[in-house]
Amino acid sequence: MSRKSAKEKLSGAEGFEQYYSELYGQRWPSLKAAFAGEGSAVEYHVTGAEQSYFLDSASVLAALCLPLENATDLLDLCAAPGGKTLVLASRMPKNATLSSNERSPERKHRLAKVVQTCLPPEISERVKTSCSDGATWCTRQSECFDRILLDAPCSSERHVISDPKYLNNWSPSRIKTVTTEQWALLSSAYRLLRPGGILLYSTCALCPQENDGMIERLYKKYNKDGTAFSLLEAEADLSQISDFTDIQLPGFEKTQYGYMIMPDNQKGAGPIFFSIIKKQKTCFTS
């Protein structure tokens, strides 16, 4: 039996353990121990808002790494439950608007409530929430946003390992399913991005196929000659978040096409992968 075939037959808690221990080797025990810890939740409170919002410090850092200077049309394509939308909205220029989308009606309802209660009216009135499949947006619009955040659905191993129901039902086929979904969303987001615009792609997955693998696929589809887009270095923009000087942001590790924030090295923060893509020219030919 080939190595690939053997991996495809893995399932449940035992299969999960074997798959990720082979992937991360000696690091896997420390990652599992970090998953069992408390995480790194921080309070994000925007002045004038009714309520605070608590989210992982890794999520704050990833959203801060999407530069917003001179941006006017922003999109959070898979926005629920809403933490990264808050980070974007609280930083966006005063003349900018943010479209915050979620495909699940139930999760979109929660997202809209977060926007209304965790942002002051002068900001929330510039945030439009919607409920649709982000993978199909590019069939109705194209190159109309200058900043896009795509926090894609993913394997979310930290949640899987903590829930016996999901752990017992795990198999590598789940990774195939989510990478198909991620690619549909990423290619849609790329088509929605204006030339000169910036896209931040992120997941909370450990699996390389869902992280660097997606950016590799984007290269093969749109950037074979290296001129269609470039990758930006991560730099958290702290200039517009004076209210949050007490938030301790984690560090990150460089990957082939982006960055990882790993809980074993960052006091429980993450895991999060993110890559920052600047589109240089249109992806449509005349």
Q: Which of 10-14, 116-120, 258-262 comes out lowest in average pLDDT?
A: 10-14
In terms of phi and psi (left: phi > 0; alpha: psi -120 to 50; beta: otherwise), the region of 100 is beta
The b-or-e profile of 144-179 (16+ CB within 10 A means b, else e) is: bbbbbbbbbbbbbbbebbeeeebbeebbbebbeebb
Predicted pLDDT of residue 244: 61
pLDDT at 3 over 60: no
- CB count within 10 Å of CB 69 equals 10
pTM as predicted: 0.94
pLDDT at 1 over 70: no
pLDDT digits (tens, 9 = 90+) for 155-164: 999 999 999 9
pLDDT digits (tens, 9 = 90+) for 239-281: 655 566 567 889 999 999 999 999 999 999 999 999 999 999 9
Residue 204 annotated to the active site: yes
Element (H, E) at 187: helix 173-192
Residue among 118, 204, 207, 283 flagged as catalytic: 204
234's CB contacts (< 8 A; 6+ apart) are 65, 252, 258, 259, 274, 276
Predicted pLDDT of residue 38: 85
Give the SS3 label for residue 127.
strand
Predicted confidence band at 10 (pLDDT cuts at 50, 70, 90)? confident
Mean pLDDT of 92-96: 95
Q: What secondary structure letter does DSSP report for 234?
A: P
